[in-house]
């Protein structure tokens, strides 16, 4: 029988131990798919490779590729037919695919890019430098090369950079029967197109749109001009990602036609691509607020590149930190009289940073939802001030009480608590407004808000604690 002591202590510990040894075993003894694939890649048999990866889900492929060596990753892509390589690339995350593509030779990259959908072509080409891009385009099929040359002139986060150029358009004089015949004869080709809508033109000028399924309900001899919807919504090729996100928030369409110079139909932006970009945007903000800058980082990227990119952010931060800490250096004499303060300075710095960052996060979110506009600084200031006041009061009382109890000196408690109280109010108020002000001046709020905030609140926090101490030196030392 088990005693209560055993039940309380030994049983949970035993369970935890089992769980840990289970985890270790899984990690160590698991069959490793990347080792199997590496063998196939070394053997050079493309059919084995193709068959092996075709059974894998998108997630298994992603994990598998992240375990291959740089060399094997290159071999994998070049060993497959270009069409199969494109299918593989479409399965894995873009940042992972871009990393492999960049390593390929011009000819190899060109063969694969040639088989991609037009918007993917433009995206991947943007990852190469100008010289390589030109070399790759030269190797592509002439018709596709001309098309992609137009696409890469657009900025990436505009309708022109996000649109696909594979769409169905017919002159308004065509009849429903002619269009249906054409669709039937080219069914294979259109399989990969956006076939929700048919766009109607007149002498290459955009006239309107109709849904493919509307053809079902119409007699074959009716011309397109009779059934086309003429007041169709369109976007300009220069429309920004933010405008497109708003467009699809408001309109429940699968896609929207893109116009150059008012009425030349140049492409179609699909809702699904914009939704995917919206998720990317949120992920980019998440990485930036945590100090990952200069694009996404995968751990399969070279260590030196990862290290350098992270340092670019850290080295700015360390300078700001030194600047803030110089406030402490200035008040060294006071600190050596009341050494207990040194315990509280890091707490004040860290807690004000936390409170301020909460307000930063809410502002980033409200900006992206559109419930607050960059010019509404005063309104946000007021709304954050109220929260800062309550939380500053409570946190100040907590830390003040801790200092009082620890040293038995109520004045020390007042110095420390008062400093944290005031500093929290300021941190929360400016944390809420900094993102709006940065946005207003077209700077990136996710990237810069954190360091600006913590520098200000560190300096102020140290200054407040040390001047309060200086003023009450006879009571607390």
Site for a second copy in 370-429 (CB under 8 A): 370-373, 375-378, 380, 383-384, 386-387, 390-391, 394-395, 398-399, 402, 406
Using CB under 8 A as the binding rule, whether residue 150 contacts a second copy is answered as no
Interactions with a second copy, residue window 249-278 (CB under 8 A): 249-250, 254, 271-272, 275-276, 278
Rounded to 5°, the CA angle 34-37-40 comes to 155
418, 325 contact by CB (below 8 A): no
Cβ-based neighbour number of residue 434 at 10 Å: 22
List the alpha helices (DSSP H) in 218-270: 224-227, 241-250
Supply the minimum distance, in Å, between the C-beta of residue 34 and a second copy.
11
Stretch that binds a second copy, among 101-109, 120-128, 165-173, 177-185 (CB under 8 A): 177-185
Q: Which of 150, 182, 236, 246 binds a second copy (CB under 8 A)?
A: 246
The backbone torsions φ and ψ at residue 234, rounded to the nearest 5 degrees and listed phi first, read -135, 170
Binding-site member from 226, 264, 307, 475 for a second copy (CB under 8 A):
307
Residue 401 or 410 with smaller CB distance to a second copy? 401
Q: How far apart are CA 194 and CA 274, in angstroms?
A: 14
Q: How far is CA 243 from the centre of its chain?
A: 18
Q: Using the rule CB under 8 A, is 234 a contact of a second copy?
A: no
Question: Which x/- pattern, by CB under 8 A, does the window 97-136 give for a second copy?
Answer: ----------------------------------------
Task: State yes or no: residue 194 binds a second copy (CB under 8 A).
Answer: no
Q: Which helix (DSSP H) or strand (DSSP E) does residue 208 occupy?
A: strand 205-211
132 vs 214 by CB, closer to a second copy = 214
By CB under 8 A, residue 70 contacts a second copy: no
Contact (CB, 8 A) for 449 and 360: yes
Indicate whether 137 belongs to the interface with a second copy (CB under 8 A): no
Residue with Cβ nearer a second copy (135 or 397):
397
The reply on whether position 186 binds a second copy by CB under 8 A is no
Segment contacting a second copy (CB under 8 A): 4-12, 70-78, 162-170, 299-307? 299-307
The answer to whether the beta carbons of residues 352 and 423 sit under 8 Å apart is yes
By CB under 8 A, the count of residues binding a second copy is 119
CB of 340 to a second copy, least distance (A): 7
- Quote the least distance from Cβ 29 to a second copy, whole Å: 11
CB nearer to a second copy: give 147 or 300: 300
Crossing angle of helices 106-113 and 94-103, in 10° steps, is: 140
Alpha helices for 214-270 (secondary structure H): 224-227, 241-250
340 binds a second copy (CB under 8 A): yes
58 binds a second copy (CB under 8 A): yes
Closer residue to a second copy, CB minimum distance, 135 or 292: 292
- Per DSSP, the three-state class of 163 is coil
Which residue, 121 or 391, is less far from a second copy as judged by CB? 391
Which tokens go with 17?
Answer: 């131990």
Rounded-to-integer distance, Cα 145 and Cα 271, Å: 26
- Is 38 near a second copy (CB under 8 A)? no
- Closer residue to a second copy (CB): 124 or 136: 124
Question: Closest separation between CB of residue 17 and a second copy, Å?
Answer: 14
Contacts with 88 (C-beta within 8 Å, 6 or more apart), sequence order: 53, 61, 76, 77, 80
φ, ψ of residue 166 in degrees (nearest 5): -90, 100
Touching a second copy, residues 426-465 (CB under 8 A): 440, 454, 458, 462
Contacts of 209 by beta carbon, 8 Å cutoff, 6+ apart: 197, 198, 199, 200, 228, 229, 232, 257
């Amino acid at each position: 029988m088990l005693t209560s002591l055993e039940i309380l202590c030994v049983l949970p510990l035993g369970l935890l131990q089992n769980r840990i040894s289970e985890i270790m075993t899984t990690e160590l003894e698991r069959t490793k798919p990347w080792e199997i694939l590496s063998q196939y890649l070394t053997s050079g048999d493309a059919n084995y490779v193709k068959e092996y990866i075709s059974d894998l889900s998108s997630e298994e492929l992603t994990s598998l590729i992240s375990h291959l060596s740089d060399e094997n990753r290159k071999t994998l892509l070049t060993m497959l037919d270009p069409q199969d390589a494109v299918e593989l690339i479409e399965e894995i995350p873009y940042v992972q695919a871009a990393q492999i593509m960049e390593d390929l030779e011009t000819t190899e990259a060109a063969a694969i890019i040639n088989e991609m959908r037009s918007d993917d072509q433009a995206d991947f080409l943007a990852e190469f430098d100008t010289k390589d891009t030109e070399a790759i385009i030269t190797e592509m099929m002439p018709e596709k090369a001309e098309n992609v040359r137009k696409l890469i002139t657009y900025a990436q986060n505009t309708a022109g950079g996000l649109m696909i150029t594979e769409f169905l358009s017919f002159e308004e004089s065509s009849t429903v029967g002619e269009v249906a015949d054409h669709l039937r004869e080219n069914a294979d080709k259109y399989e990969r197109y956006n076939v929700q809508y048919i766009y109607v033109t007149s002498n290459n000028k955009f006239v309107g749109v109709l849904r493919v399924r509307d053809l079902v309900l119409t007699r074959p001899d009716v011309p397109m001009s009779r059934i086309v919807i003429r007041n169709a919504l369109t976007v300009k090729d220069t429309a920004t990602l933010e405008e497109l996100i708003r467009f699809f928030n408001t309109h429940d369409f699968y896609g929207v036609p893109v116009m150059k110079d008012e009425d030349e139909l140049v492409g179609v932006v699909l809702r699904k691509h914009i939704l995917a970009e919206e998720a990317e945007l949120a992920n980019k903000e998440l990485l930036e607020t945590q100090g990952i800058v200069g694009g996404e980082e995968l751990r399969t990227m070279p260590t030196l590149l990862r290290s350098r990119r992270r340092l670019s952010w850290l080295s700015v931060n360390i300078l700001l930190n030194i600047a803030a800490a110089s406030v402490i250096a200035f008040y060294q004499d006071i600190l050596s009289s009341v050494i207990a303060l040194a315990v509280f300075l890091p707490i004040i710095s860290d807690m004000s940073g936390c409170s301020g960052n909460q307000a930063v996060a809410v502002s980033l979110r409200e900006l992206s939802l559109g419930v607050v506009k960059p010019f509404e600084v005063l309104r946000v200031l007021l709304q954050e001030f109220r929260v800062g006041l309550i939380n500053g009061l409570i946190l100040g009382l907590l830390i003040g009480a801790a200092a009082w109890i620890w040293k038995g000196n109520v004045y020390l408690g007042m110095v420390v608590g008062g400093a944290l109280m005031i500093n929290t109010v300021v941190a929360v108020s400016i944390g809420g407004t900094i993102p709006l002000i940065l946005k207003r001046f077209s700077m990136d709020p996710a990237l810069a808000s954190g360091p600006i905030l913590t520098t200000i609140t560190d300096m102020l926090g140290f200054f407040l604690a040390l001047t309060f101490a200086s003023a009450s030196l006879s009571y607390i030392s």
